[in-house]
Amino acid sequence: MKRTGLALMTVAALAVWGAPIPAYAVPPTATPSPGYDARLQEQRAASRAAVAPVVKPRRVKKPPRAH
């Protein structure tokens, strides 16, 4: 009886201790895809190239005309 109780207490203690540890399993749909990764890199490169800083021309006030 003492041995069974000690075994149950050990199992319960391990279950409580191991519960807060997160699982690091990857879902099966998250496997790497070479084709998708290549398209994603092309898309990111294109978006970086398309976003160029736009410099507005400086406004210069014209002097008033003499009539």
Say yes or no to pLDDT of 54 above 80.
no
The two three-digit tokens of residue 19, written as one number: 């519960």
Q: What is the pLDDT of residues 17-53, one digit of tens each?
A: 666 667 677 666 666 778 888 888 998 888 776 656 6
Tell me, rounded to whole angstroms, the distance of Cα 56 from its chain centroid.
Answer: 35
Quick one: pLDDT at residue 18?
Answer: 60
CB count within 10 Å of CB 12 equals 10
Rg (CA), the chain: 33
Quick one: pLDDT at residue 7?
Answer: 85
Q: Hunting for tokens 């519960």 — which residue is that?
A: 19
* pTM over the 0.85 mark: no
Quick one: pLDDT at residue 47?
Answer: 79
C-beta pairs of 58-62 under 8 Å, 24+ apart in sequence:
none
